[in-house]
Amino acid sequence: MDEATPGESKRTASTQTSGAPPPFGSRFLTPSRSVWEQNAWDHVPPPDDQGERIALSLERQRASRVSDADRNRYNARPEKYWDAFYRLNQGNFFKDRKWLHLEFPELFQATREDAGEVTVWEPGCGVGNALFPLVQENENDQLKLVGCDYSKKAIEVVHANPLYHPPKGSLHAQVWDLASPLGLPESIPPGSVDIVLLIFVLSALHPDEWTRALANIWTALKPSGLVLIRDYGRHDLTQLRFRTNRLMEENLYVRGDGTRVYFFELGELGGLAQTQSPLPPAYPLPPHPLFSAQQLGIDRRLLVNRKRQLKMYRVWVQAKFCKL
Ligand SMILES: C[S@@+](CC[C@H](N)C(=O)[O-])C[C@H]1O[C@@H](n2cnc3c(N)ncnc32)[C@H](O)[C@@H]1O
């Protein structure tokens, strides 16, 4: 993959939601401090010339888009590019998930000894880098963890992990497509899940697949069940860095390895909560929006390469949806 997934850098809690004060422990770049003092700063607004930088990048990208033939190829069998990615990288990436604690404390509450029956499902789990930290912390005999991914190779790597047979609770991983029109995987009965985790997964889908994915998630959740989402934000450094022959559609790109990535505007992500399924559902859906957005936040971080004197403006979006 031609970029680092956010959160792989050492992080502190950082998501700023509608006017809430920044969390204690954040690193702020104040006028008295030099940007080169440390490797990362929290809540840094974009530089004054960011508008020009964005315009230049987008102009260059739009001038040479991915050809129709290539776009059809990348969209036709997206899982095979993820298979190739995992064959090449196995589990050697995206390892540091300490930030999960800070951003999604509900997850770790489920691992407490007295938390009772809780099911956590991660569609698009990759090689389990979010699931295994939960396994490691788990004290709850009644915690059920399920991971799904449409990459067979990713699921093979999950199965081969020594933590796949946890001493407490259970973990099951299987191949399944989140945008499947055929319904849920057999390990997830409708209405059985307390928490769905979507970590950099919606961005890997084609926008046309979001509705189906959210309908599947809604069906899987218990009443008032939660969806925890973290993903790439609009005009993140990695979006602006894409050069020629990478733009598939506005804000949807294909990386050098053939995997797709979309960059979300915050309002757009929030709008997904309002999804109503116009598609013939595998299960009946209600005639109202599927979720309410309980939290919607943007995380802007300045990462600094002190040696090369480089400033990297990263943008991530985060949301918590509640099933209606
Ligand atoms: C950027 S990776 C993130 C993996 C994992 N969530 C993590 O945090 O390490 C995106 C993952 O989503 C999976 N994925 C993309 N579209 C999918 C779909 N329609 N159904 C299931 N998995 C999908 C990919 O195979 C890949 O493993």
Residue 173 has pLDDT above 50, yes or no: yes
pLDDT of 46:
83
Q: What gap in Å lies between CA 62 and CA 78, rounded to an integer? A: 22
**What is the distance in A from the centroid of ligand 1 to the CA of 154?**
9
Ligand 1 site, CB within 6 A:
82, 94, 123-126, 129-130, 149-151, 154, 177-179, 199-201, 204-205
Q: What gap in Å lies between CA 163 and CA 160, rounded to an integer? A: 8
What is the extent of the structural domain holding 175?
Answer: 37-323
Per the structure, how many domains does the chain have? 1
pLDDT of 29:
61
Q: What gap in Å lies between CA 47 and CA 70, rounded to an integer? A: 35
Residue 96 has pLDDT above 70, yes or no: no
pLDDT of 101:
85
Ligand 1 probe mutation, 150, 174, 209, most atoms within 8 A of CB: 150
Q: What gap in Å lies between CA 245 and CA 35, rounded to an integer? A: 34
Write the pLDDT tens digit of every residue in 141-165: 999 999 999 999 999 999 999 999 9
Q: Is residue 301 part of a domain?
A: yes
Closest CA to 198 of 220, 182, 165: 220
| CATH, residue 273 | 3.40.50.150
Range in 26-30, 160-164, 218-222 with the lowest mean pLDDT: 26-30
Q: Is residue 20 part of a domain?
A: no
**Residue 46 CA: distances (Å) to CA of 22, 126, 152, 185, 302:** 17, 31, 39, 42, 9
Rg value, the chain, Cα: 20
Q: What gap in Å lies between CA 1 and CA 258, rounded to an integer? A: 9
**What is the distance in A from the centroid of ligand 1 to the CA of 157?**
13
How many Cα atoms sit within 13 Å of 291 on the Cβ side? Answer: 30
Residue pair 178/123 in contact (Cβ under 8 Å)? The answer is: yes
Range in 55-64, 99-108, 114-123 with the lowest mean pLDDT: 99-108
Q: Is residue 24 part of a domain?
A: no
**What is the distance in A from the centroid of ligand 1 to the CA of 196?**
13
- Residue 151 alpha carbon, nearest atom of ligand 1: 25
Q: Is residue 21 part of a domain?
A: no
Assigned token pair, 262: 């979309």
Write the pLDDT tens digit of every residue in 231-273: 999 999 999 999 999 999 999 999 999 999 999 999 999 999 9
**What is the distance in A from the centroid of ligand 1 to the CA of 308?**
32
Q: How confident is the model at residue 12 (pLDDT cuts 50, 70, 90)?
A: very low
**What is the distance in A from the centroid of ligand 1 to the CA of 198?**
9
Q: Is residue 66 part of a domain?
A: yes
Residue 284 has pLDDT above 50, yes or no: yes
Q: What gap in Å lies between CA 154 and CA 177, rounded to an integer? A: 13
Residue 63 has pLDDT above 80, yes or no: yes
Q: Is residue 12 part of a domain?
A: no
- Residue 199 alpha carbon, nearest atom of ligand 1: 6
Residue pair 268/283 in contact (Cβ under 8 Å)? The answer is: no
Query: Where do we find the tokens 């915690």?
Result: 143
Q: Is residue 143 part of a domain?
A: yes
HEC secondary structure over the chain: CCCCCCCCCCCCCCCEECCCCCCCCCCCCCCCCCHHHCCEEECCCCCCCHHHHHHHHHHHHHHCCCCHHHHHHHHHCHHHHHHHHHHHHCCCCCCCCCHHHHHCHHHHHCCCCCCCCEEEEEECCCCCCCHHHHHHHCCCCCEEEEEEECCHHHHHHHHHCHHHCCCCCEEEEEECCCCCCCCCCCCCCCCCEEEEEEECCHHHCCHHHHHHHHHHHHHHEEEEEEEEEEEEECCCHHHHHCCCCCEEECCEEECCCCCEEECECHHHHHHHCCCCCCCCCCCCCCCCCCEEEEEEEEEEEEEEECCCCEEEEEEEEEEEEEEC
Assigned token pair, 202: 């919606």
